[in-house]
Amino acid sequence: AIEVLDVAGNLIFMNGPGIRIMEVDDFETIKGVPFEAFWPEAERPAVRRAIAAAQQGETLRLTVFGPTAKGLARWWDLSLSPIRDGDGKVARLLALSRDVTEAKQNEAEVAAGARRLDYLARHDTLTGLPNRTHFQESMDAALLGLDPLRPLAVLSIDLDDFKLVNDTLGHLAGDALLRQVAGRLNGCIRARDLLARLGGDEFALLVPVTEPQDAAETAQAILAALTEPFEIEGETVSIGASIGIAMAPRDGASADSLLQYADVALYRVKGEKGRDFRFFE
């Protein structure tokens, strides 16, 4: 669209293609209207700045949102330039509006695809929980400058008898069980705790505590929640969990070492028939 404004910024001319793409039925009804009035309230300050720049002899280009006369949502690449008279004075303003809606939509889709790829890279697709990468990143951040008076507990959680469910009812039932387990675990934690699925039937929990007893109480709540039977595809399924706990900074100060020590405690519980928790020693 090609539009000409008077020096005050009022619309005095629009070309035929502009009238069509702006969906204007009768140009005479909008002739003389301030150009900024055609734009949504949120866009008017930017349009006013562009008009002021053209009035000062400069050209300004910007991307703005503005519906057509009939309300069709559109994005425009808008430029405003001065038109000078024979003495070099600014006598008119030239506005060029190019429809860039499709490009804007593509840009938004690419951005959404990227805020989606990043999510998938850091979350477990089955349960929606943070994955190992996300969990370790969060642990690293929490361990920076850790206050010894406000320790962190790392719980390594492994399901007991999960393989039996997979072998007898199939992998789809196993997946359904993991989703239900994730839901029950979420019910045992606070907003500031971080629950993750590390892979298979292995979960991990990062818990800010004031003393080890806080971590023990969380572990006991998890064991009680997972002891209750699950309903999977019309079948009643009973499982349990083994939990190993490592404390920072007492047991270590890095994410890798704390997860390793929590696993050591977990394996001790597994060796003693599971369905219990232990602290790393």
In tens, the pLDDT along 69-121 reads: 888 889 999 999 999 999 999 999 999 999 998 888 888 787 777 777 788 88
In tens, the pLDDT along 217-273 reads: 999 999 999 999 999 888 899 999 999 999 999 998 899 999 999 999 999 999 998
- Which listed residue (201, 251, 256, 276) is catalytic? 201
Instruction: Return d(Cα 255, Cα 246) in angstroms, integer.
Output: 11
SS3 170: coil
C-beta contacts of 161-165 below 8 A and 24+ residues apart: 161/238, 161/239, 161/240, 162/200, 162/201, 162/239, 163/201, 165/232, 165/237, 165/239
Query: What is residue 152's DSSP assignment?
Result: E
- Annotated active-site residue 158? The verdict is no
Percentage above 90 pLDDT, the chain: 74
In tens, the pLDDT along 123-153 reads: 998 999 999 999 999 999 999 878 877 899 9
- The band of 122, judged by pLDDT with boundaries at 50, 70 and 90, is confident
Instruction: Return d(Cα 104, Cα 279) in angstroms, integer.
Output: 54
Average pLDDT for 166-172: 90
Say what the pTM is. Answer: 0.63
Model pLDDT, residue 58: 95
Reported residue count of the chain is 281
